[in-house]
Amino acid sequence: MTPISLTSSVLSNPKLTPLDRAKQLTATLLSERSEASGALLARQLHEVLRALDASDRHGFQRYLATEFQPDRAALCAAAERYLADGTAEAAAALARAADPPRQELLRRINMAPGGTGALMAMRSEIASWLRGEPELKLLDADLKHLFASWFNRGFIELKRLDWQTPAAVLEKLIAYEAVHEIKGWDDLRRRLAPDRRCFAFFHPALPGEPLIFVEVALVQGLATAMPPLLARETDEEAARAQAARADTAIFYSISNCQDGLRGVAFGNLLIKQVVEELKAEFPQLKRFSTLSPVPGFRRWLGPRLANGSDPDAALLPQLESGDWWNDPTQSEKLRAPLLRLCARYLTRPPSIRVDPVARFHLGNGARLERINWLGNSAPRGIQESFGIMVNYLYDRDAINDNHEAFVRDGTVVRSPEVDALLQS
């Protein structure tokens, strides 16, 4: 029986459950040698998968994770050959033997229209199961491995988004914004004004779907607080004049849009490419900096103050009382100790490796430039870091050295201003 006729019998067999139908189509797809027939099988498999309920989808994911392992005998033989002679040919044979058939299966599933998006959705869905079902980590790792190849720099495209961008894409910016909520179309219009820029990466397999985007403000000097960056500016001519005068580009929000691509690095590439785009458009720009949250600071500080062992433990009752940040007298008393504690948090391992934003920017070669008091007094900013925000400065001449220092031994390259906080 040919694979196509076998497929027809699978699809028309009323005795098969939807999950069994999906499993049989999957096995047939992996055995198919014709590219045209494989593409047809992949489309039919996708139709069956779309009809599965949540329980059956989970069962199918477990099926992918537990089946399609490397052939044990072939892998052992290849390993013994490599240990015996260590040649390049033996190493290549070992790599082929270790490559799980599951990866080839996933490549074939990807042949169908919409295959990439379906596999991303699968990886997003299994994330909630990984801790309790470690066998699913094999499937997760294979998907991540393939995505890292499919979404490399040769395939993704940088685009500037503005008010002329299709509304369907702009709606997704509102939905995906992960740092500073976009409160409707008026707020979005301000973020796309002449003295603002927004750039995103796209992939041809996902037209109209941003992978990651960054929002930039063109200002004079380092921005130290969010309200001025988010304030509405109704005069477009004034905004154009501001852009022409700007000497600093502030990256104030970076949002990953696709949970299924978690762990696939885009941010470093995005920042570096946007810096080049901005430098070409605005040659007068001298500084490229972030205004970033410190999302792990409160979680780190709370236990240290609560156990009473820290000299600043007396701060805790004040930090838990009312709207202290709206009381100038009370907040001024907290300013120096909290800035000092935040400087310690951001410069001393292992805490620095826990904070995701710091780890991202320092790992990409930025310098810890300034720690800003009450840079964001919105509820989320207070909850995460008592309103403190940070400038990470990207100096194009020092990025590589800074990156090497951080990766090699955790050295945080920082400004004299931050050093002064540590010594206060």
pLDDT in tens, 168-198: 999 999 999 999 999 999 999 999 999 999 9
Q: What is the mean pLDDT of residues 84-111?
A: 94
Residues 347 and 397 in one domain: yes
pLDDT: is 3 or 239 the higher one? Answer: 239
Residues 13 and 143 in one domain: yes
| 337 alpha-carbon distance from chain centroid | 32
**Amino acid, single-letter form, for residue 285:** L
Q: Are 210 and 202 in contact (CB under 8 A)?
A: yes
| pLDDT of 29 over the 70 cut | yes
Compute the distance between CA of residue 329 and CA of residue 374 in angstroms, rounded to an integer.
14
pLDDT value, residue 157 = 97
pLDDT value, residue 4 = 54
Residues 239 and 376 in one domain: no
The phi and psi torsions of 400 (rounded to 5 degrees) equal -65, -45
Over the stretch 368-377, which tens digit does the pLDDT of each residue have?
999 999 999 9
pLDDT value, residue 306 = 86
Residues 126 and 171 in one domain: no
Pair of tokens at residue 230: 């988010």
| pLDDT of 5 over the 60 cut | no
| pLDDT of 1 over the 50 cut | no
Of the residues 102, 118, 150, which one is the last residue of a structural domain?
A: 150
Q: 3-class DSSP state for residue 53?
A: coil
Q: What is the mean pLDDT of residues 218-227?
A: 97
Residues 402 and 275 in one domain: no
Q: Are 180 and 252 in contact (CB under 8 A)?
A: yes
Residues 241 and 342 in one domain: no
Over the stretch 136-152, which tens digit does the pLDDT of each residue have?
999 999 999 999 999 99
Band of pLDDT at residue 424, cut at 50, 70 and 90: confident
The dihedral formed by the CA atoms of 56, 57, 62 and 67, expressed in degrees to the nearest 10:
90
Residues 381 and 366 in one domain: yes
Alpha carbon distance, N-terminus to C-terminus of the chain: 80
pLDDT value, residue 62 = 97
Give pTM, 2 decimals.
Answer: 0.91
Of the residues 118, 150, 182, which one is the last residue of a structural domain?
A: 150
Ordered alpha helix ranges (H), 163-206: 167-176, 185-191
Compute the distance between CA of residue 247 and CA of residue 286 in angstroms, rounded to an integer.
5
The CATH number of whichever domain residue 238 belongs to comes to 3.40.630.180
Residues 280 and 306 in one domain: no
Sole residue written with tokens 């500016």: 233
Q: Are 37 and 77 in contact (CB under 8 A)?
A: no
- CB within 8 Å of 184: residues ≥ 6 apart: 174
Band of pLDDT at residue 308, cut at 50, 70 and 90: confident
Residues 165 and 280 in one domain: yes
pLDDT value, residue 322 = 83
Over the stretch 70-82, which tens digit does the pLDDT of each residue have?
999 999 999 999 9
Of the residues 290, 310, 325, which one is the last residue of a structural domain?
A: 290
DSSP 303: H
Residues 389 and 302 in one domain: yes
Ordered alpha helix ranges (H), 282-415: 297-306, 315-319, 328-347, 351-354, 356-363, 379-385, 399-409
| pLDDT of 8 over the 90 cut | no
Residues 192 and 144 in one domain: no
Band of pLDDT at residue 321, cut at 50, 70 and 90: confident
Compute the distance between CA of residue 368 and CA of residue 393 in angstroms, rounded to an integer.
7
Compute the distance between CA of residue 115 and CA of residue 111 in angstroms, rounded to an integer.
6
Cα separations in angstroms, 116 against 176, 257, 341, 397: 19, 15, 45, 38
The CATH number of whichever domain residue 309 belongs to comes to 3.40.630.150
pLDDT value, residue 369 = 98
Looking at every residue in the chain, the average pLDDT score rounds to: 93
Residues 13 and 91 in one domain: yes
- CB within 8 Å of 192: residues ≥ 6 apart: 161, 162, 163, 198
Q: What is the mean pLDDT of residues 83-97?
A: 93
Band of pLDDT at residue 14, cut at 50, 70 and 90: low
Compute the distance between CA of residue 369 and CA of residue 414 in angstroms, rounded to an integer.
6
| Active-site residue set | 292, 361
Sole residue written with tokens 């910016």: 173
Band of pLDDT at residue 232, cut at 50, 70 and 90: confident
The CATH number of whichever domain residue 7 belongs to comes to 1.20.140.90
pLDDT value, residue 34 = 84
Domain of 283, in residue numbers:
157-290
Compute the distance between CA of residue 337 and CA of residue 387 in angstroms, rounded to an integer.
14
Q: How many domains does the chain have?
A: 3
